[in-house]
Chain A
Amino acid sequence: MARARTPARGFFGSERRAFPIRRLRALPGRRLVPAWFIEEQRKTVHRAHRLVRKALKPASNKITPEQRLVQRATAGLTLAEMAEVSELGYKRFLSRQLDPETIDDGGFEDALQEALPTLAMTPYELFTSGDGFRGFIELVVARILRSAYSPRQLFERMVEFWTDHFSIDILANHGYLLKPTDEREVVRPHALGRFHDLLSASAHSPAMLEYLTNDSNVRGHPNENYARELMELHTMGVDNGYTQEDVREVARCFTGWRFFGVYNELPTLGTFKFERAFHDQRSKRVLGRKIPSGRGEEDGLDVIAMLAERSETADFIAYKMLRFFQGYEPDKRSVKRVAAKFRNTGGNIRSTMKTVLSKSMMKKAEPKLKRPQHLVASALRATSADANNLGFVFEALEASGHLPYAWSSPDGYPDSDIYWSGYVLPRWNFAADMPDPGESGINIAPDLLDDSLSPSRFVRRLDLRMFNGTMTDETRVGVEEFLKAGKINTKRLREAVGLALAAPEFQTY
């Protein structure tokens, strides 16, 4: 045959699996988040509730920049963060969230690591554990739990952002073995670090190299898949300052960037290797700059450094960050400001985020539709829910098209209300079923099931607890009418909570 397209063919037969939703449904009812942790979080919210109830003027249901900040920096506001921002002030709240290492997480991450031991495993350990899929199962479970419960909320939002930016389909090929390590060693360590480091880590990540078929990008038979997405999706943005010829040359720079395959069954399995024998050592020209001949891995490293510094990259990342955190159509001036910050700080993500989430940016924030994972996490947060059985959550995410790490193309789940608004019914059904433990296995906080309150006082409590007092009149009236239409008991109160979760102002943020 003229060309062996991929030397590793057979080892890496391309296939896409079904999401193991059955296994998620069948997860044993064991505790994932400790009861004492939930109890602590509930207490914090109750304390904040007392404070906010006094502080909040009844008619002040305009969204302040502080509330906007909390909404955008977290996976759904709770009164705990609202109390914190009013105590610390806007800037200090933001600085604290941008410095996640300094946030005491109340033992959350430790408990999570204990409950989900595969989070710390290498691909080899997963492979030899006899149940490689467990790594996948625990990773998707951790994604939901971290976004719902971690006190390092902004950090988890950044993880979400970069997960989509450097999207890898966990269902493709050996993603189930490789993605957990990518999350642990690429996305999380650099989520608020330097963009260059993040990009370089991603370029060395076996999960990425396999997903974008760089293992078959070899001397004499370049495969442009990774090179194209590197420029188009990860750095400069589509058709933005580079040519098709640049893509071809970048592909040649990354020849030989491979990894130890899955069937060699060595402890190095699923780790990066640069293979000089497969590297095209002739000279290249990328973006007008000459890459000299006779070198090895440096070719790719130079390209990474070059791309991380391009102004097109700064513009593209700035635009995406603003679209994610501020609104679907960020204005040019905001993009310019954020891009300048990105450039001037050498791609420092933490510093750039300070600008993205600054008060002036949040004043311009536009309402966005929560994506389903966001909706789920925010519902758990707003109701201080004790969720250990996540089978229900994954069924809801499956029905609304947002299973974690399962977007099949490299552009990541869309950040678009047009795209997600097509799935209203599964969102409503999630809202209706979640507060009912018989359906969901999830227990919402007892103060949201207080049947001693009158309908109007109960709705007022929902308004404060779940919306920081910004529920719309329509929802208030609607839920109150619903409560008045039947006997007040726990069942009806659960349904009222469900209606509040289904309301447009809860579905958006």
Chain B
Amino acid sequence: MSQHKCKGCDEYRHLSRRQFVGLSAGLVVAAAAPSWVPRVAYAQSESSERDVMVSVFLRGGLDSLSMCVPFNEPDYYALRPTIAVPPPDSGQANRALDLDGTFGIAPTLEPLMEPFQDGELLVVHACGLPESSRSHFDAMYFMEVGEATPSPSNFTGWLGRHLQSTAPTMRDGVLRAVGIGYGLQRTLVGAPKALPISDLASFGFTGSGATKKQRKAVLEEIYTYANEPLRTSASDTFRTVDTLKRIGFSGYKPKGGARYPDSEFGYAMRSTAALIKGDVGVEAVAVDIGGWDTHDFQGNLDGSMMYLLQELAESLGAFYRDLKASNVRNVVTVAMSEFGRNVFENGSQGTDHGYGGLMLAMGASINGGQVLTEWPGLEPSQLFEEQDLQITIDYRDILTEILTRRMGNADYRTVFNDKSYSPKTLGAVI
């Protein structure tokens, strides 16, 4: 902390002195952590060994039964007379692609077959957060915080708390996490050095190019005297602008013939690949794809949902190919949604809010090529509240395994502190 003396500065420094003396900049955010987050001594970083986490949130409530079809279940076809995806051996154009003789994925998910067959894509079925909610907002909140009915004072996200409790992989890295979008995803709230960035390619100073350098220099100078947390945030911002500029997003060329779809999500995944390959110390990226609230006409070949699945699969498939061809193997991508949907279709050929859902995990460290599930069945007596797929796998089990085995987390309780939760090892990670 500068002890530079000037009129008027005292005022603005007061806060810094009181709160932050003796704390390193990296701990600034941690200082605001809820008191129940145990203070963990930073382990010595073994950076390159750790996986980078890309957390994709499918907002709106993914219909897991259309994405990954239990094609041997007569109940599935009975409950969904118009929207069921036909079995792989049906000969129909929209038949499911067989994964393991029991489950098949919707045909528009074809680009995901490559990582699945490579053994690097895991489908976790009948999965979710037990005792969650049917309200989008609550269920997203709970899932991103990582706790059923969390208190409002617990507003940090599971990934945010993970980063808070582990040492950075790059000692002088400026950016540990990025939330692509406006406003940081709840998943990342609490993470040190995390920024919401809507477009990585255009993260920079606006205004006249002729004076940009001069203006930037003035701000850089005056912000060295600002109080915390502004001072650290400002210096991180300057470094981030420079860092991201060096990556050169707009000229980025994917490898392996990967073709990202020309959509917001495709663009976000493309930028994420560039960011990770830029090797600037980013450990986590949160990306959203919305539109899963398929109350009507979701379809089984050309309905709204099938196009969305296609966009998802093409983006994730391109991301997989791009990284594999670039020999970047330390990336794990997870995709989840706030809840699944009713097992039966509604009156408008859609589905309403349900319970058990589905999660994807993809990466070289993932024990993929299988559908991981303790299948609860679809008979009336097997359903949750007589209308939904049960949750037999807590999504936190998958995350715990990844965080502790692949991301240097020493104690899952720094992330999932729900007293009623104790993790089960399901072998999601190799």
A interface residue numbers (CB < 8 A to B): 1-3, 5, 9, 13-16, 59, 61-63, 169, 172, 213, 225, 232-233, 238-239, 366-367, 369, 398-399, 401, 408-409, 411, 414, 416-419, 421-425, 428-429, 432-433, 436, 439, 470-475, 478-479, 481-482, 485-486, 491-492, 495, 498-499, 502-505, 507-508
Q: How far is the CB of B61 from chain A (nearest CB, A)?
A: 9
Given contacts A414-B155, A504-B223, 16 further A-B pairs with CB under 8 A are A1-B386, A2-B385, A16-B136, A169-B137, A225-B135, A367-B11, A401-B196, A422-B195, A424-B237, A428-B237, A432-B207, A472-B225, A474-B225, A478-B221, A499-B218, A504-B234
Q: Which of B2-10, B80-88, B102-110 contacts A (4 or more CB under 8 A)?
A: B2-10
Across the interface, B7 reaches (CB within 8 A) one of A59, A233, A366, A398, namely A59
Flag if A367 contacts B206 (CB, 8 Å): no
Binds A, one of B208-216, B400-408, B412-420, B422-430: B208-216
Q: B residues within 8 A CB of A367?
A: 11-12, 14-15, 227
**Interface residue count on the B side (C-beta < 8 Å):** 64
| B304 CB–A CB distance under 8 Å | no
The CA-CA distance from A492 to B6 in the complex, in Å, is 27
Contacts of B32 in A (CB 8 A): 416, 418
Query: Is B233 among interface residues, defined by CB-CB distance under 8 A?
Result: yes
Cβ of B256 within 8 Å of any chain A Cβ, yes or no, is no
A422 touches B184 (CB 8 A): yes
- Complex: how many Å from CA A503 to CA B198? 24
Cβ-defined contact, B137 with A172, below 8 A: yes
The contact sample of 22 A-B pairs, CB cut-off 8 A, is: A14-B135, A14-B353, A15-B136, A232-B152, A417-B230, A421-B230, A422-B184, A422-B196, A428-B219, A432-B207, A439-B206, A472-B8, A472-B9, A472-B222, A473-B6, A473-B8, A482-B215, A486-B214, A495-B207, A502-B219, A504-B234, A508-B230
Q: Is the CB of B8 within 8 A of A470?
A: yes
Are A491 and B218 in contact, with the CB atoms below 8 A?
no
* B153 interfacial by beta-carbon distance below 8 Å: yes
Complex CA gap A367/B234 in Å reads 17
Query: Which residues of the other chain, A, contact B245 by a CB distance below 8 angstroms?
Result: none
**Given A367-B227, A473-B7, A238 and B151 touching (CB < 8 A)?**
yes
Give the docked Cα–Cα distance between A399 and B198 (Å). 8
Contact A411 B155 (CB under 8 A): yes
| B173-216 interface with A by 8 A CB criterion | 182-184, 189, 194-196, 198, 203-208, 211, 214-215
Chain B residues near A63: list those with CB within 8 A. 11
Q: Which residues of A contact B232 (CB under 8 A)?
A: 421
Docked complex: B346-390 residues within 8 A CB-CB of A: 352-353, 385-387
Contact A474 B222 (CB under 8 A): yes
Note all chain A residues with C-beta closer than 8 A to B14: 366-367
Give B316 Cβ to nearest chain A Cβ, in Å.
23
Whole-angstrom distance from the CB of A400 to the nearest CB of chain B? 8
Q: Which residue of B lies closest to A397 (CB)?
A: B182
Lowest 7 CB-CB distances: which A-B pairs, in order?
A504-B226, A401-B183, A432-B207, A473-B6, A478-B218, A421-B233, A418-B32
B11 engages A398 (CB within 8 Å): no
Q: List residues of B (215-253) whose CB comes within 8 Å of A's CBs.
A: 215, 218-219, 221-223, 225-227, 229-234, 237, 241
Checking B138, B196, B230, B295 against A507 with a beta-carbon cut-off of 8 angstroms, the contacting residue is B230
A495 to B198 CA separation, bound complex (whole angstroms): 25
Question: Which residues of the partner chain A approach B204 to less than 8 Å between Cβ atoms?
Answer: 425
Compute how far the CA of A1 lies from the CA of B11 in the bound complex, rounded to whole angstroms. Answer: 64
CB of B263, distance to nearest CB on chain A (Å): 15
Q: Which A residues lie within 8 Å of B135 (CB)? A: 14, 213, 225
User: Using Cβ atoms and an 8 Å threshold, which residues of chain B touch A2?
Assistant: 385-387
Contacting A at CB under 8 A, from B125-151, are: 134-138, 140-141, 151
B222 touching A503 by the CB < 8 A rule?
A: yes
- Residues of chain A contacted by B137 (CB below 8 angstroms): 16, 169, 172, 408-409
* Cα–Cα distance between A289 and B34 once the two chains are bound (Å): 33
- Provided the pairs A422-B184, A422-B196 are in contact, do residues A233 and B237 lie with their beta carbons within 8 angstroms? no
B12 & A232 in contact (Cβ 8 Å cutoff): no
Contact of B182 among A15, A213, A233, A401 (CB under 8 A): A401
The answer to whether B229 and A418 have CB atoms under 8 Å apart is: yes
Q: Per a CB cutoff under 8 Å, which of B9, B153, B225, B241 touches A425? A: B241
Contact B207 A472 (CB under 8 A): no
Any A CB within 8 A of the CB of B293: yes
Does chain A have a CB within 8 A of B29?
Answer: yes
**Residues in A whose Cβ lies below 8 Å from that of B241:** 425
Q: In the bound complex, how far is the Cα of B149 from the Cα of A409, in angstroms?
A: 13
With contact pairs A436-B207, A472-B9 given, residues A499 and B385 touching in the complex (Cβ less than 8 Å): no
The answer for the CA separation of A486 and B28 in the assembled complex, in Å, is 38
Least CB distance from A364 to B in Å reads 11
- A3, B8: Cβ atoms closer than 8 Å: no
Q: Give the shortest distance, in Å, between A498 (CB) and chain B (any CB).
A: 7
Give chain A nearest CB distance to B389 CB in angstroms.
15
Q: Which of A401, A409, A505 contacts B8 (CB 8 A)?
A: A505
A112 to B223, CA, bound (A): 38
Smallest CB gap from B236: residue in A:
A424
Chain A residue with Cβ nearest B137: A408
Q: Is the CB–CB distance between A474 and B9 below 8 Å?
A: yes
